[in-house]
Chains A and B, each alone.
Chain A
């Protein structure tokens, strides 16, 4: 059942700082990973993805790092802005036809950017 009083991990940064959000995954068969951003009252929005044959991928102001040895994923946001304040989720997809497109989500991290 659901636990009462669970709190999401939080990260508070100053505007202009770099942010690093971490995620641990448990399924060694996962071969595709995604970071989503979710603002209050909205659905998750795709930020960046990475496949298991890569260990780093860069986008605009964002970088995703994948360490398959320790099953760890991180999202780096450069020059964080107040508009980056949101909940960030990592998600994984296991390889294979029966799992196609089915995502397993992490718990989420709340990022707050102070002006």
Chain B
């Protein structure tokens, strides 16, 4: 299966800093998604993109932004990191069917 990679895998930052999490896919799929995962909340959609220059807000988009300058990458930026953004972040792209997500390995972010 084509890979979806995330970097860094672990990140510690301080409150107020800007942080960017990278997501790269090798399948050139138009659709890409960012989720965060917190205990007791499952995965929640942050932002998503249906193609180059297209970005959309998800359920928990406040404090986050994305940009899509090419098909392969959808970086997620925390404009001013807050402790409430300590979480595990997953990038995803469609799998066999358009509706099914294939997830990357995740980035664990700790905001102190």
Alpha-carbon gap, A93 to B95, bound state (A): 14
Q: Summarize A's interface: helix, strand, loop or mixed.
A: loop
Q: How large is the interface on B (under 10, 10 to 19, 20 to 34, 35 or more residues)?
A: 20 to 34
B39 touches A6 (CB 8 A): yes
Closest residue of B by beta carbon distance from A100: B98
Instruction: Assess whether B50 is interfacial by the CB under 8 Å rule.
Output: yes
A89 and B43 in contact, given A44-B103, A102-B33, A102-B48 (Cβ under 8 angstroms): yes
B2 CB, nearest partner CB in chain A, Å? 14
The complex places the Cα of A108 from the Cα of B35 at a distance, in Å, of 15
Interface size class of A (residues with CB under 8 A): 20 to 34
> In the assembly, what is the distance between CA of A68 and CA of B42, in Å?
22
A4 CB to nearest chain B CB (Å): 9
**Cβ A107 vs Cβ B40 within 8 A:** yes
Which of B58, B94, B99, B104 has most chain A Cβ within 10 Å? B99
- In the complex, A23→B58 CA distance in Å? 22
21 contacts between A and B (CB under 8 A): A2-B38, A2-B41, A8-B40, A34-B100, A41-B106, A43-B104, A43-B105, A44-B43, A44-B101, A45-B103, A46-B95, A93-B99, A100-B50, A100-B98, A101-B33, A101-B98, A101-B101, A103-B33, A106-B42, A107-B40, A107-B42
